[in-house]
Chains A and B, each alone.
Chain A
Amino acid sequence: MSIKEFLERQLSNMLMIQAGVGLAMGVLGSIYEPEARFGYKAFFAPLIYAFFCTLPGIVGYSAKELTMKQMLIRELINFLLVELTMLSLLYVQGALKSVDRALALAVAVLAVYLVTLLAGWLRDGRVAQDMNEQLKKIKE
């Protein structure tokens, strides 16, 4: 994978993470702090979180072709780093007020991560479908 392709994918992931973080903030906020009020700065929070969550994605880059096992290991490391990054950011901001809230946030990070993976999978699924249709045509 070229560095350009890698960065394009990271940017696409960042936008999806941003949307996911916004949704997670809305859901968890309405559960744990429904009375909380925010200023305009809150609009930047998903973008900032998404940016920091995209940085560990560098572990997925390799100029060489990776085997599926290597890819899965890097994906797991990436996920653990994202969890660590997010929980550290939330800890610094004082958002980890209890164990159950920390767990809920960790689960929310996992959910956003899985949604990002699923979105990529669905996008590739459409490409595979196109390829299958074209394959059928050339065989005819």
Chain B
Amino acid sequence: MKVSIRKVEKKEQEQVLLECVSMTKEFEDIREYALMKGNQLTAYLDGKAYQILLGDVLYFEAVSEHVFAYMEEEVYHIKKRLYEVEQEYSGQKFVRASKSMVINLMQVESFRPALNGRFYARMKNGEDIIISRQYAKAVKQKLLGEAI
């Protein structure tokens, strides 16, 4: 089987293209692996590695050099920097809410104003996350861009 790699300019253009005569078991495995890699990430809890679904992550938080993924029930440690999370998952509706947090827009219930140009994002688990004034504009632009 030939393997080709073609460079693209933007993250959103990245894709895996399978060219096959028929969808064999091997191709099906590759397809499933590629789909899984895009929607899952490796996270750690009590020293064990887990594959967690990106869509289930409420938000990522950086706490003194470590980044944590907050799910409904568990909090996992992930081996990425917050800016990497922001860049890699911006196509999956994740957006920076403050210097230490990246939130999943699909897990936001609603927004409401806080003080002095800040906003609260009410997450699906009932938690309120502060969107700082610095990033409020970016969140709004992201929402507008996604909604169009």
Which A positions have Cβ atoms within 8 angstroms of B?
A: 1-2, 5, 9, 60, 65, 68, 71-72, 75, 120-121, 124-125, 127-128, 130-132, 134-135, 137-139
- B38 CB-CB contact with A under 8 Å: no
Q: Would A138 and B116 count as touching, CB distance under 8 A?
A: no
26 A-B pairs with C-beta separation under 8 A: A1-B132, A1-B134, A60-B116, A65-B99, A65-B132, A68-B130, A71-B115, A75-B116, A120-B116, A124-B114, A127-B119, A128-B113, A128-B119, A130-B140, A131-B119, A131-B140, A132-B110, A132-B111, A134-B143, A135-B111, A135-B147, A137-B146, A138-B106, A138-B143, A138-B147, A139-B106
Secondary structure at the B interface, as helix, strand, loop or mixed, is: mixed
Q: Would A65 and B140 count as touching, CB distance under 8 A?
A: no
Would you give the shortest CB distance from B108 to chain A, in whole angstroms? Answer: 6
Which B positions have Cβ atoms within 8 angstroms of A?
A: 93, 98-99, 105-106, 108, 110-119, 130, 132-134, 136, 139-140, 143-144, 146-147
A121–B120 Cα gap in the complex (Å)? 13
